[in-house]
Amino acid sequence: MRKKLVAGNWKMHGSQALTRELCAATAAAKPQDVDVVVFPPSLYLREAVQVLAAGGAVGVGAQDVSIHAGEGAYTGEISAAMVADCGAGWAIVGHSERRADFRESDHDVGRKFSAARQAGLKPVLCVGETHADHVAGRTLEVIERQLAAVLDHNPIEAFVSAVIAYEPVWAIGSGLSATPEQAQQVHAFIRSQIRKKDANISPLTRLLYGGSVKAVNAAELFAQPDVDGGLVGGASLNAEEFASICQAAGRQDKR
């Protein structure tokens, strides 16, 4: 059985003090049967790792890594190796805000996924369609293209530990989550794409839903057979709300 995973993407929020506070609260409230990872801004990775080192149960990751695997003259960039050197173990790649606001192509995301893996980080690959694609009925076509670009650069075996997060762009920060049925339909499609490459790996890959996940809707979303947890944005900045979401994931495994 796939262990549920709840990931908190803080985006560009926080401070050293908030990092210490949120990490301590998350560690204290973490259910044993759920994996939990926090993604603070990279500047605070070290702080998060230090606070969480005591328990060691909550993972830490970066929200993005450089496309460049080695060192070099890339002002402002942070490599996957640097993230790993700070003690973090995960990296989000291909978040829709990176794709849209920083013009990251599918190809770039494939290279970032590869850079994260090479540094020993577990990638959380984000895929998802825009509102325009959603209403035009192009959701599965977009997901297929985004996945294919990553699979072009990476072996299917990477998806034993890598995670895929389906985040419909129209649901992010909008308060309008996909319905559990909509999420399940896309997750089942993603799993079928992995199965086409390797039927032994597809049952192992964890698929997260992201987009306005809150304490009130988490249980219903996580109850879907192919939804293995959530990638939580806004609600991960509220310790109590995030703890409730983690607990909702834990209750699923007991059903």
Ligand X SMILES: O=C[C@H](O)COP(=O)(O)O
Question: Residue 81 or residue 243: which is nearer to ligand X going by CB?
Answer: 243
**Residue numbers belonging to the annotated binding site for substrate:** 9-11, 173, 212, 233-234
- CB-wise, 81 or 246, nearer to ligand X? 246
Which of 6, 116, 183, 213 contacts ligand X by CB under 6 A? 213
For the question of residue 95 being annotated catalytic, the response is yes
- Active site annotation includes 77: no
Single residue of 104, 167, 226, 241 touching ligand X by CB under 6 A: 167
Measured from the CB atom, the residue of 45 and 235 that comes closer to ligand X is: 235
Which of 5, 6, 9, 30 is in the footprint of ligand X by CB under 6 A? 9
The dihedral formed by the CA atoms of 3, 56, 123 and 221, expressed in degrees to the nearest 10: 40
218 binds ligand X per the rule CB under 6 A: no
Rounded Cα distance between 227 and 219, Å, is 11
* Least distance (Å) between residue 63 CB and ligand X: 8
Spatial neighbors of 230 by CB under 8 A, at least 6 apart, are 6, 7, 208, 209, 210, 213, 218, 221, 222, 245, 249
Q: Pairing between strand 4-9 and 229-232?
A: parallel
Exposed/middle/buried for 73, CB within 10 Å: 0-12, 13-18, 19+? exposed
Among candidate residues 162, 127, 158, the one with its CA nearest the CA of residue 143: 127
The answer to the question of residue 232 lying near ligand X (CB under 6 A) is yes
Question: How many DSSP H helices and E strands does the chain contain?
Answer: 10, 8
Binding to ligand X (CB under 6 A): which residues in 62-101?
95
Residue 234 in contact with ligand X, rule: CB under 6 A: yes
Q: Which of 47, 95, 97, 129 is catalytic?
A: 95
Catalytic residues, which ones? Answer: 95, 167
Q: Interface residues with ligand X (CB under 6 A)?
A: 9, 95, 167, 172-173, 210-213, 231-235
